């Protein structure tokens, strides 16, 4: 097995893939909440992906991604035995883990992937775990079984009502709180509007809430400023200061505005099926 080699490829939901990639150093060093930046080929865009799991003995890391942009589609074209060009990491701050008491982990869509390693660490620290997984529709619900094994209670919500609760993860969280469920800590990862809605709800109940931000990243080392976010009125870089921040302090309006900035370029790159120039747009 050579470094950066894909040793397992699985489509776990439509256009959502689980890759197990050989990288002994990252497998040994990584902690919950950290991520890697990979490039599929020379000149390719840098793609940040959460490390979902690792096996230090086998020297492998597990990554989950959705093939939605030009670069992730290129990544999805690789097969077992192929190598990604490079894999940098582990990057970012590890999640602050402690025994909060009862922790509720909430994953929205593909955001459920980064939730999993943190759920494992929270459970290992002695927390009782509740889980809420949301998706647009049933076939996009991922990692339900894995989270089920960790949580004393796991609820699913789908936007179209095809599975579990018909509605949003915040409806389910509200229901738990209305039932008098004790919740001491919430971790929410998913689309920015979902993380904002969760944070607004938990703020009313005084529940400490962490969210994981996914602004565009270029170098992943705090040099380019591409991933800057505003937290508590201060500028932070998601790649080195995060990716997790206090959900009650994040300026979600600014985050969403910045996320939308490069949509036209990404769309153009995907339509042309040319090499994605997103990182170049970011630099100029």
Residues that bind ligand FES (CB under 6 A): 217-220, 222-227, 237, 239
Q: What kind and span of H or E run contains 104?
A: strand 102-108
CA nearest 190: which of 133, 242, 138?
A: 133
Minimum CB distance to ligand FES smaller for 183 or for 238: 238
Nearer to ligand FES, 88 or 150 (CB): 88
Return the structure tokens found at 22. Answer: 């050989």
CB of 91 to ligand FES, least distance (A): 9
Minimal distance, residue 161 CB to ligand FES, in Å: 38
**Residue whose CB is less far from ligand FES, 18 or 258:** 258
Q: Which is nearer to ligand FES, 68 or 224 (CB)?
A: 224
In which residue are the tokens 């992943």 written?
Answer: 220
Sheet order of strands, 244-246 included: 165-166, 153-158, 128-135, 102-108, 185-189, 208-212, 244-246
Q: Which is nearer to ligand FES, 132 or 216 (CB)?
A: 216
Quote the least distance from Cβ 107 to ligand FES, whole Å: 23
Write the CA distances from 22 to 89, 115, 171, 224, 270, integer angstroms: 13, 22, 40, 28, 28
**211-230 b/e (C-beta count within 10 Å ≥ 16 → b):** bbbbbbbbbbeeebebbbbb
Give the HSE-up count for residue 227: Cα atoms under 13 Å, Cβ half-sphere.
25
Task: Supply the minimum distance, in Å, between the C-beta of residue 239 and ligand FES.
Answer: 3
What is the smallest separation between the CB atom of 33 and ligand FES, expressed in angstroms?
Answer: 16
């Amino acid at each position: 097995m050579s470094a950066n080699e894909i040793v397992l490829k699985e489509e776990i939901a439509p256009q959502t893939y689980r890759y197990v990639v050989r990288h002994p150093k990252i497998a040994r060093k990584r902690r919950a909440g950290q991520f890697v930046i990979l490039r599929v080929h020379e000149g390719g865009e840098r793609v940040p992906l959460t490390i979902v799991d690792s096996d230090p003995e086998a020297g492998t890391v597990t990554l989950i991604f959705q093939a939605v942009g030009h670069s992730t589609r290129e990544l999805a074209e690789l097969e077992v035995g192929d190598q990604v060009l490079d894999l940098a990491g582990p990057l970012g701050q590890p999640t602050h883990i402690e025994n909060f008491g009862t922790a509720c982990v909430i994953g929205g869509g593909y955001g459920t992937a980064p939730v999993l390693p943190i759920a494992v660490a929270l459970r290992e620290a002695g927390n009782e775990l509740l889980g809420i997984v949301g998706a647009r529709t049933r076939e996009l619900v991922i990692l339900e079984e894995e989270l089920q094994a960790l949580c004393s209670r796991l609820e699913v919500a789908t936007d179209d009502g095809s599975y579990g609760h018909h509605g949003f993860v915040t409806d389910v969280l509200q229901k738990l709180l209305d039932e008098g469920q004790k919740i001491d800590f919430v971790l929410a990862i998913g689309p920015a509007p979902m993380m904002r809605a969760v944070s607004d709800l938990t703020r009313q109940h005084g529940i400490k809430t962490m969210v994981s931000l996914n602004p565009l990243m270029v170098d992943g080392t705090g040099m380019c400023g591409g991933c800057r976010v505003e937290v508590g009125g201060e500028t932070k870089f998601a790649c080195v200061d995060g990716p997790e921040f206090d959900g009650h302090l994040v300026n979600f309006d600014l985050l969403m505005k910045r996320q939308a900035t490069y949509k036209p370029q990404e769309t153009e790159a995907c339509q042309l099926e040319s090499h994605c120039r997103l990182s170049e747009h970011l630099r100029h």
